[in-house]
Structures are given as C-alpha cells and as structure tokens.
Amino acid sequence: MNIQISDSWLREFLETKATPSQIAEYLSLCSQSVEKLIKDGEETVYDIEITTNRPDCLSVYGIARELSAILPRFEINARLKEIPVAKIPKVKSGFPLQVKISKTELCPRFTALVFDNVIIKPSPLSVRKRLENSGIRALNNVVDISNYLMLELGQPMHTFDYDKILKHKMFLRESKEGEEIITLDGQRRKLKEGIIVIEDGEGRIVDLCGIMGGKNSETDKNTKRVLLFVQTYNPMKIRKACQALGFRTEAASRFEKGLDPEGVIPAMERATLLFKEWCGGKVGNELTDIYPSPPKPKTVIVTKVKIDTIMGINIKLEDAKKFLDNLGFKTKIDAKTNSLTAEVPHWRNGDIEIPEDLIEEIARLYGYHNLPNTLPPISSLNYQKEATFEWEDKIKTALKYWGFTETVSYSMARKDLIHNPADHLKISNPLTEDLLYLRTSLIPSLLEVISKNPTEEGIKIFEMANAYLPRGKKELPLETMTLTLAVKGESKYLEVKGILDALLKELGITKFSIKPEKFPSLNYGAQIFIGETNIGIIGEVVSPELTRFGINQKVTVLDIQLNRLLSFATHAKGYIPLPKYPPIIEDLSFVFPPQTFIGPIIEEIKKINEIIKEVEFIDSYQNTRTFRITYQSQERNLTDSEIKSIRKKIIDFVSAKFRAQVKEAL
C-alpha cells in the first residue's frame, strides 16, 4: 500500500537539514521505498510504498520516526519531535454515552469522546492542501480531522453526529446474516454474518466498524456535537468483512494489518487539540476507554553468532544495540551469552517476533549497501544434473535450424477450443472466458496461432509446454511436457515425418515404428511407437477442425509426449569399425498393390540378412517402388554368388509377404 505525504508535514515531526532527495534515497535504502518525489510548488510530496508488515509506517509520524534513526547513519542529524496534543480534561456529568461490547476479541481497545459546540466549516487551507496531496478530498473541519490524523498518526478514526446516536447507546457486536446498512457513500450494503457493527439504542446499525460509517449517523452542516471514535479492531475480522463485502477503504486497509492499541490515546489527545483549534469544540464528556487486556511488552533475544552468521560480517554488539535503541527498542547486552535482549516498542509489536526480525533491523540500519558482495562457497553438491533440460534445449535448437519458429501460448484455453470440457481442469475464478480451461493438448493452440497469421505462407511452428491431465478431485493433475509441431500447406506429411526421423536420430533413437491408424481429427495419420511405448501421433488435420479455426489450407501436425520420448534418449553411440571391404550396391524395383505401406517393407528387408547394411527408398512411380540395397561385410569381399542368394531371398520374401512383383534386378 502506498501513502503520499508532504515534506512540510513530515518536518513538523522531524528536525533535520536533510533535503527531500536525501530523505527519499536514504529511506529507500534502509526502510520503506520512496517510489516518486512529486514537486508541487514549494511543497514536495513523497510517494512511499509501505510493506504489509509495517503498518506503523503508514503515517507521517511513523516515517519521521524511521528517519530519525536512519538519517544519522548517513551523517545527517535528525531529531523526532513531540506530537502536539491537548490533555483530555475530566468532565463530570457530561453528555451520556452507554457502550457495550459483545466480545472483547472484536475490539482490543475502544475509546470515544464527545465534543460540544462544534462549528462546522472548511479546514485551514494548508490542511486541505496536505489532504489533497495525500489523495484525500477535504470536506469540512470535522471529517478532515479524522482523515488528517489517520495520515498523520496512522490511526483511523470516525466522527458521528452525537445526536443521531439514538438513546446515546452503542452496542458493538457481530452482524447477523441479512442485516443492512447504508454507508456514508450512499450504498446500501447487505451484510453476511460476523462483520463488526455498532447498533444504537433503537437497534439501528450506525457503523460498519473499521470500514465505513453509517449514513444515518453522519455529521452534517447542522451538527453541534460530535462523537469521536478511536478504536483498534481484530484485523482478521476486518479483512474477512472486506472480502465478504467486496470493498475496502483506506481505514480498513490499515485496520486489517493490525494497529497498535497504545497509539489510540495519543491520537485522541491530538484530536482534542485539533477540535479545539479548528472547530472550537470543547470536550463534552468523560473519555470512554475500554481496554481490557493491554499487551505485555515483548522481548526477543538474539546472539552475536546469529547476527554475524546472517549478515556475513563481524558486528559489534554495541553498534547493534545503538541501531535498535534508535528505532525505539530497549536493549541490553548480555556479555556472558554474547547476546542482545531487546524489548520491542509497542508500535512494532505486530512484526517483531523472532531473532531474524531483530537481525533485519540491525542489518538495514548497518546498511545493506555496506555489506560486501561475496559468492557463496560450494561445500559439496550432492545431486546429478537433470538431462531433461539439455534434451529439451537440443530439440528446440534443432527445430530452429530446421526452419521452425517457436511459439508460447497461454496454458488456458477457451471452451470452444477444446473438445471435452469435462476432461479438463477448470479455473473457478477466471480472468476472462478466454482463459478458462487448462489445455490437455497443444494442437488447438498451434492452430490458433496459424489462424492469427493468415497472410504468412509456409508456416512451420512448434511449442513445447505442459499439458494438464486431471487425476481426480484430490490429486494434482499429471503435467506432461509435450512437443507439438504444425506445418501449414498441401501434402506436408513427409516433411513432418522427416523431422520426426531426424529428431529421433538426434536423440540417439534408431528403432521406432509408425503404425497407421484412423483418428477422428486426422485425415490420415499414425501412432509413433518406440518399442511398446506410444510416444505420439503424426498426421494431417481434418478440414472441419481447420474450418473451426478459419484456416483454409491443410495443416500437418506432430504431437509428442516428451517425457516418454526422452526416456529413450541417449548420448551413447556404438563404434563400428570402419569397413575394410567395399560394399556392393544395387537397386531393386517392385510393383506393389495400391496403398501398400512402405515403412514396414524397409524394416523387413533389413532383417533378412546381416550383410544388408542399408535399405533406401529411392524412387516411386505409380505402384512401382525402387529400393537401393547396400550389401557389405566386415570380414570379406562379397562374391557374386553370395549376393545372388540374398537377392533371391529378398525378392521371394517381398513378393510373398507384400504381394509384390519384382520388376528388374540390375
């Protein structure tokens, strides 16, 4: 959460000669980050990002307190000034107010005070300007006091018109399902159970506590008596209420981070002064202060060994003590145990718990920029590198050099891109309907890329990403790394098949098989097997599917389950001694029945005799297929009669098994 505070305001609490840009730089280095310095005439406004653990910094005073500890580290004097306040007088027999709280844990501290004779008018110009610089619209002096003090001290407060609290009774309790309130912004809000509210003597809900007041009790131009409300609330309750209501205010964002109950009285006293100065208001009753269990001071101990271990340097405990004391801790050095005992200041009660928290305080004041840059030493490493990533890189690089362009698409797909929504994981709070289901295949994503680039010719693309296969309601899905290629154009099957062949060769896989199969989504295609493992499919996408994407050319796809494929990948390459004897090469042509698959023929011929070293498919004309056969022996020169007998075996086998007729033997 960011706050914007004016430099002049900051200096009301901090005496220093530091310039605004020094303040911005040093605050960023040692505490909260100043994102912008905004010049507004004479004024400079700091835009500061406050981390969630530091609600104590969500104020002008809180920042001044940090700076008073930080600036001296840069050799700049800085002194934190006192908060100007007015003591709350004891008023006997003032305006009555009866308060009841249903459960203590809802509201750790409850204070309320009535101001009489209030004159509603605009606030002083300088105040209006400061509010504006902080992004808050000035309304009138009464409302402005509550906003001004929220920014100045970090304590939100609320002002009621005292006379609109019927019977002057307040009952703080949890809401019941279905109750309603119209809030200050005029919105009618239906409440769920468990939201902290205040009910007046007539049973009307007058406040949505910590979030926004009720319309029915707001101050207006006729208000004479103001009931000022300063509380701390159970942060979780406020947070849940905001979530349930679907809205959050500046006050709520502070309450839900947990505020310091010790900060309540200073805020009340400061308000007393401002009511007097800006509105002429006089305290009109006895202060109500319900504070059943003030938190006990917390102490945290940290050893020097631990500080040094985390900071990586040798730090003097005296220095560490000084840093902590400047931040408001009360510390003692224990020489015997070589440690520091630190009593946590009440405004840091929420975020200082463990020794590491103290080390952070010490280290940031020492200055992270003053710590050396050292590489961590490697003592030992006990793991094996994972080859998967190297294979993936190798595949991607090969595809790039084979002319493919890599795409990265969202893992989520819209309903009409997928086939069976029920088989997909669904996002329950999607950002848009376009990103609703987790994809189980990358093919639709690639088709979508093709459809988005209608003027590109000869598209060759691929994506490597997880597919998400559900495994029931109680188990995480199977995330399978998938490689999918798509090539646009007529008759690209053999081109894509060639990529598959080359890719497997790159991975050291020489034995695989292609089993033709009919798929509903492919004109023609096949399953790819390595041994018994199906590693994927290849084929040309059917027209209706392409039409769905508005693609008017053919697309051929290759879809591989990478984890299965990579389980066969190997760098191992066997060495075969270079041949000493010349090969004999000859071509054989056969006429086959129409639509005979050629892949298995090549595989079968190779198996006939071990001197058949190579079978290449070199020519095709109508139903004639020509193979180039290479015979070679490692041990001897081959004789004509040897070749003749093997050739006969080939011809007999192919003729018999594939019903082919040999055409010529050269």
- Residues 199 to 228 in contact with another protein, rule: CB under 8 A: none
Residue 43: CB minimum distance to another protein, A: 19
Residue 31: CB minimum distance to another protein, A: 6
What does the block give as tokens for 347?
A: 């405004």
Q: Are 153 and 59 in contact (CB under 8 A)?
A: yes
Nearer Cβ to another protein (274/300): 300
Sign of the four-CA dihedral 188, 191, 195, 196: positive
What 365-373 contacts at long range (C-beta under 8 Å, 24+ apart), as own/partner pairs, is 365/30, 365/69, 365/70, 365/73, 365/323, 365/326, 365/327, 366/311, 366/315, 366/319, 366/323, 367/29, 367/30, 367/73, 368/29, 369/29, 371/311, 371/312, 371/313, 372/312, 372/313
What does the block give as tokens for 403?
A: 């002319």
314 binds another protein (CB under 8 A): no
Question: Which residue, chain included where needed, has tokens 């109508």?
Answer: 622
Q: What is the CA radius of gyration of the chain?
A: 40
Residue 116: CB minimum distance to another protein, A: 39
Residue 640: CB minimum distance to another protein, A: 32
* Strand extents, DSSP E, 444-496: 460-469, 478-488
Nearer Cβ to another protein (128/460): 460
195 binds another protein (CB under 8 A): no
Q: How far apart are CA 186 and CA 200, in angstroms?
A: 19
Nearer Cβ to another protein (38/665): 38
Among 25, 43, 163, 506, interactor with another protein by CB under 8 A: 25
Among 93, 314, 429, 595, interactor with another protein by CB under 8 A: 429
Among 461, 496, 565, 654, interactor with another protein by CB under 8 A: 461
Among 188, 385, 571, 607, interactor with another protein by CB under 8 A: 385
Site for another protein in 479-498 (CB under 8 A): 479
Nearest to 330 by CA among 315, 345, 320: 345
Binding mask of the shown chain, residues 590 to 609, with x at each position contacting another protein by CB under 8 A: --------------------
How far out from the chain centre does Cα 233 lie? 29
394 binds another protein (CB under 8 A): no
Site for another protein in 643-662 (CB under 8 A): none
Nearer Cβ to another protein (222/374): 374
Which string of b and e fits 433-471 if b means at least 16 CB within 10 Å? eeebbbbbbbbbbbbbbbeeeeeeeebbbbbbbbbbebe
Element (H, E) at 438: strand 437-438
Stretch that binds another protein, among 135-143, 284-292, 337-345, 383-391 (CB under 8 A): 383-391
Nearer Cβ to another protein (383/575): 383
Among 79, 137, 452, 511, interactor with another protein by CB under 8 A: 452
Nearer Cβ to another protein (502/598): 502
Residue 389: CB minimum distance to another protein, A: 5
Site for another protein in 120-179 (CB under 8 A): none
277 binds another protein (CB under 8 A): no
Nearer Cβ to another protein (20/266): 20
Among 30, 551, 601, 650, interactor with another protein by CB under 8 A: 30
Phi then psi for 356, rounded to 5 degrees? -60, -30
Site for another protein in 405-424 (CB under 8 A): 405-412
Site for another protein in 553-572 (CB under 8 A): none
Element (H, E) at 494: helix 493-506
Stretch that binds another protein, among 116-124, 207-215, 268-276, 430-438 (CB under 8 A): 430-438
What is the β-pairing status of strands 43-49 and 33-40? antiparallel
Residue 156: CB minimum distance to another protein, A: 16
How many residues touch another protein (CB under 8 A)? 93
- Total Cβ atoms within 10 A of residue 43: 16
Stretch that binds another protein, among 22-30, 226-234, 316-324, 587-595 (CB under 8 A): 22-30
Nearer Cβ to another protein (280/367): 367
Q: How far apart are CA 389 and CA 561, in angstroms?
A: 15
Site for another protein in 487-546 (CB under 8 A): none
Among 129, 164, 439, 460, interactor with another protein by CB under 8 A: 460
Contacts of 355 (CB under 8 A, 6+ apart): 300, 301, 302, 303, 306
Element (H, E) at 29: helix 20-30
Q: Is 230 left (phi over 0), alpha (psi -120 to 50) or beta?
A: beta
Residue 409: CB minimum distance to another protein, A: 6
Q: How far apart are CA 166 and CA 217, in angstroms?
A: 9
Site for another protein in 345-374 (CB under 8 A): 354, 356-357, 359-360, 363-364, 368-369, 371-374
Binding mask of the shown chain, residues 38 to 77, with x at each position contacting another protein by CB under 8 A: -------------xxxx-----------------------
Among 240, 276, 414, 613, interactor with another protein by CB under 8 A: 240
Sign of the four-CA dihedral 306, 310, 312, 315: negative
